[in-house]
Amino acid sequence: MLNSELGVKDIIDSPKSIFYLLTQDEKEELQHHISLSHYKKNEFVFKEGDKPTGFMILINGKVKIFKEGVGGREQIIRMAKPMGLIGYRALLGEENHIASAVTLEESTICTIGGEFIFNYALKNPDFSMRMIRKLCKELGFSNARTVTLTQKHIRGRLAESLILLKDKYGYENDGFTLRAYLSREDIANLSNMTTSNAIRTLSTFASEKVIAIDGRKIKILDAHRLERISKLG
């Protein structure tokens, strides 16, 4: 079975999926409202100002959600991993997207028609409650990140971003290398700093043996110290 087919099956049957809470009849109806789209690396999934096309779930790959600020500078708001929801706030809020989404690697995205979400899924109280909880968690994350990105020193901001990547994507098989190969610019945009500051701070962390750098590969050598730097800010 193809990975994309496995992904669709996971969306319907996996306990980790928000659609797992639907009734069997609703799950059967769901299959008629699913479409798959394949994206190359650095391809837009949607742009700020676009009208939502449906309820999106990342099946494989990685996606960054960012907002363009003053002078065209990006601020990465969120990172999505497989089985993560993308752009659902705009759909549920009946608004245009207030941010853009771009793939960080080849990705497959499942889109579920809005008519199914509104006419079937949201009428299921268990599904609706999980959606409310998810929106609340995302709001809490955004509030915490606002404090981090405005009050922490650049060392604390960068350390927190590396921990965020570790928590979101995990390690490679060696148990040290982050399973996310971001450009220095993306790391900077995730940490609310200039690219030059990100490069300098990464080099400092490397000289302190907190991390090791090999191109875009970053190994976390001292996770406890990285946590301490993040908390001290």
CA distance linking residue 37 with residue 49, whole number of Å: 20
β strands within 82-167, DSSP E: 85-86, 100-103, 107-112
Q: Please report, for residues 67, 128, 180, 220, 223, the alpha-carbon distance to residue 175 in angstroms, rounded to integers and kept in the order given.
A: 32, 37, 13, 9, 11
Residues facing 109 on adjacent strands:
37, 58
Residue 93, pLDDT above cutoff 90: yes
H/E segment holding residue 38: strand 34-39
- Residue 96, SS3 per DSSP: coil
The residue assigned the tokens 């669709």 is 8
Walk me through the domains of the chain, giving residue ranges and CATH numbers: 3-148 (2.60.120.10), 152-232 (1.10.10.10)
The pTM score is 0.86
CB-CB neighbours of 43 under 10 Å: 14
- Residue 1, SS3 per DSSP: coil
Spatial contact of 20 and 121, defined as CB atoms under 8 Å apart: no
Higher per-residue confidence, 186 vs 71: 186
pLDDT at 7: 66
Residue 109, pLDDT above cutoff 90: yes
pLDDT band at 190 (very low <50, low <70, confident <90, very high): very high
Residue 65, pLDDT above cutoff 90: yes
Residue 81, pLDDT above cutoff 50: yes
Rounded mean pLDDT, 106-112:
95
- Residue 172, SS3 per DSSP: coil
Tokens of 65: 């959600």
Following DSSP, what letter does each residue of 51-92 receive, concatenated?
Answer: PP-SEEEEEES-EEEEEE-GGG-EEEEEEE-TT-EESHHHHH
Q: Mean of the per-residue pLDDT values for the chain?
A: 92
Tell how far CA 46 is from the center of its chain. Answer: 14
Rounded mean pLDDT, 113-122:
94
pLDDT tens-digit profile of 3-50?
A: 455 567 778 888 888 898 999 999 999 999 999 999 999 999 999 999
Tell how far CA 152 is from the center of its chain. Answer: 22
Higher per-residue confidence, 69 vs 98: 98
pLDDT at 2: 42
The residue assigned the tokens 């995990």 is 170
Spatial contact of 86 and 57, defined as CB atoms under 8 Å apart: yes
